[in-house]
Amino acid sequence: MTTATIRRPSLQEFEVYENTEVRQLVLELLAAKAFAEAEHERVKAYTAPIFAEYEFHPADEWTERLYGTTRARVLTEEELYLTDMTAPAYREYCERVKDAHAAHGWTGPREHCPALVAKSKVTVAENALVKSILKFMGAEGCNAYGETRRKIIELACRSAKI
């Protein structure tokens, strides 16, 4: 395991860095977040009616583990990972959703969801911001996870004064 010596930049060094690189990375992150939220709502508007036509149930392995009992049905699209993905109804649903993506202008890979692709771009933007800050602090090659990562992103966004 490598340990990094954390650099303590002067306030002036940090202000210059903050006003250039951090500000740009925060703007990119905020743009990615706004697009991801809008894309999620746009996609949900045409996939929710398709989802409503089906009644999915959690696979047996999930019901006991997550709920301690048998649960009647999967209530949201976000919970679909709980269902039996080999079931014919699930496969039919997925094909219909892929067709709906294409009908609503999606030109990316058929197997990809436009909302999830947009959400992944938020993670890419967050990674760039965290990497830049760690590099500036002398911790290049390190990474931040969990609460530390969340705090770095939150502080960067607040300090950028956007």
How does DSSP assign the chain, residue by residue?
---PPPP---HHHHHHHIIIIIHHHHHHHHHHHHHHHHHHHHHHHHHHHHHHT----B-HHHIIIIISS--S---SGGGGGGB-TTSHHHHHHHHHHHHHHHHTT--S-TTS-HHHHHHHHHHHHHHHHHHHHHHHTT-TT----HHHHHHHHHHHHHHTT-
Per residue in 7-43, pLDDT tens?
Answer: 677 777 777 666 678 899 999 999 999 999 999 999 9
Average pLDDT of the chain, as a whole number: 88
pLDDT band at 1 (very low <50, low <70, confident <90, very high): very low
Q: Which pLDDT score is estimated for 19? A: 67
pTM: 0.81
49: buried, middle or exposed (CB in 10 Å: 19+, 13-18, 0-12)?
Answer: exposed
The larger pLDDT score, comparing residue 81 to residue 9, is at 81
* Of 143 and 13, more confident: 143
**Two tokens at 98?**
């892929």
